[in-house]
Structure 1
């Protein structure tokens, strides 16, 4: 049964009357902000959607208030789920913050399962409610707008054709052996080719160091692809066997075989795509294969080039961050495919107007967003000052326009967006997503943004109360 709040009176109110002195000021402010009923309602509705009748039936589950506070605490301090469980269990302040008090702390697996039920739409709704809290607190009024993009890397190793083929063979072989053992086959029925594949990957790594050994490297790749195709044939055979045997096996082993069948059906086309793109690169010289697989574990990973000398290629997803005054991130977006920055400007302005009901007085972006069309679109929407430095050669009139005092001040303020991205990557670890899948990427970015917004709202509230 889904609960919204803890119903019992806090034990600390009785035994620890001066417990408020233990709290950091900023955490106390965040605690007050999370009292908002709309924030709790978003999470409660997501939990109720998991099972029919869970609002009225079943044993009491972890309250929605506890869930959201534990997840916020996790991303405030960049903890793992195990760290979260350990820290909350041992710390009185964290017990009070999460409303657990003297009760049992949910274990790491419980919080992980609940977090996965909060999809991208739920996280986006939660973020919108936090922005509403900031608006009611007077932290932001939408007078200013700045935008930038960055890359959040997926948790993958550097992709090469040989290592991707090796990953595919390893996963398929492991699943085939598990399914074969469950069916009662003799131990040697599924051939284990992992040792030969590992040796071939090492040889390819040595041969790739010198152009003189390219012919030998191509030959090694042919051998590796032949081995991978043999594993794919074994996979197709096992999928057919599982389809025939699923109705006759004992009920207790059906879930195991269903998971194995699902895994094989999911991984087989990915590994086949890796074989195809390897053949296209080696034999056809095609290095620009459409929808290239960069990881069989995170297939949504893209190659993104941002022009950085230290990182010419980044592997992950492009995200857009847009801010208003007082460093409040009013909207974020995880893009399914890498768009050009110049195409994101008008949609971001429309989002800003939807959130605040008004156009900003000043809108700023870097050269990637600059175009005459974007400047005109901002002006038509009521933006009085548009700070978009032009790319390439500039006319004398344009140079004079960009030397105006308000334009240069707007540029200096725009640079703060890069600082905000740096804080997100350093404090909330948005440099690398440690959640799995495309939904995990949305959840990782969303909670990082929400945690950062709560800190900035608390800092602003504390500064205003001190005046």
Structure 2
């Protein structure tokens, strides 16, 4: 027990030396510190700086979580993103979801997941791919993105935002577990809780319709 405390203390001393060095480089030497050299939490070193680009909350500290939701509100797959951006996980998300759900033939993403390579590869895996392009569209791309199925799918992205809010309400707003493995475990439990809630909601709706039919009879 004593040795464990000593190792923990050594770890914090190392962090202190590192932070003093960063301050010296930034404040005294006027150096711009590379992003990869920065530590945002000495207690959870895996913590990342997340630029959301949204009004009110432009940045957050934590780890990104990507989810894939079906048309009924169930989360089919999730992935904790460590030093990854959306465009790096699009293909992997579809592959993992299709491994568990082979009938998955249609998927819709937002612009953050776009890259020419992603679009090319996902078109070979899906019957219908909705992947808006970043930047200026040519004539063919404009026709593709104004098609009815494309527009309808994009409008459903707000449902995914609802699922993300649901996950936050089920514990993901703040993770009490420690370390990357603890975070991933906590995410999985939050996803499970969210799916249980969706099951309960569907059962309640069926009971409500059954009650309404009995009253109308």
Shorter-chain TM-score: what band?
0.7 to 0.9
In the TM superposition, what whole-angstrom CA distance separates every residue of 1:315-336 from its partner, at most 9, and x where no partner exists?
Answer: 1111111112211111112222
Deviation at 1:418, TM superposition (A): 1.3
Residue 342 (structure 1) aligned to one of 87, 101, 110: 87
Equivalence for 1:398: 141
Runs of 4+ in 1 over 6 A off after TM superposition: none
Matched, 1:410 2:156: no
2 CA distance for matches of 1:341 and 1:259?
A: 38
Higher relative contact order (CA 8 A, sep 6+): 1
CA distance in 2, matches of 1:261, 1:417: 46
Question: 3-state DSSP class of the match of 1:327?
Answer: coil
Say which of 17, 25, 35 aligns to 1:280.
25
After superposition, give the CA deviation of every residue in 1:431-460 in whole Å (9 maximum; x if it has no partner).
222333323322322211110111112222
Asked if residue 439 in structure 1 is aligned to residue 170 in structure 2, the reply is: no
Local SS of the residue matching 1:262 = helix
Q: Which residue of 2 aligns with 1:355?
A: 100
How far apart in 2 are the matches of 1:412 and 1:321? 17
Q: Give the TM-score taking structure 2 as reference length.
A: 0.86
Is contact 1:362-1:410 (8 Å) kept?
Answer: no
Match of 1:454 among 196, 199, 202: 196
- 1:289 is displaced (CA, Å) by 4.8
How far apart, in 1, do the equivalents of 2:96 and 2:206 lie?
A: 28
2-side partners of 1:459 and 1:416: how far apart?
A: 15
Whole-angstrom distance in 1 between the partners of 2:36 and 2:22: 9
The answer for unaligned runs of 5 or more in structure 1 is 1-254
RMSD: 1.9
2:65 aligned counterpart, secondary structure? strand
SS in 1 for 2:87: helix
Name the CA shift for 1:415/1:401 in 2 (closer, same or farther; >3 Å): same
| SS of equivalent residue, structure 1 residue 304 | strand
- If the length of structure 1 is used for normalisation, what is the TM-score? 0.42
Written as runs of structure 1 = structure 2, the 5 A alignment for 1:97-246 is none
Q: What are structure 2's unaligned runs of at least 5 residues?
A: 211-217
Per the alignment, in what secondary structure is the counterpart of residue 321 of structure 1? strand
Preserved contact between residue 329 and residue 449 of structure 1 (Cα < 8 Å): yes
Say whether the 8 Å CA contact 1:322–1:332 is kept in structure 2: yes
Q: In the TM superposition, what is the alpha-carbon distance from 1:355 to its structure 2 partner?
A: 0.6
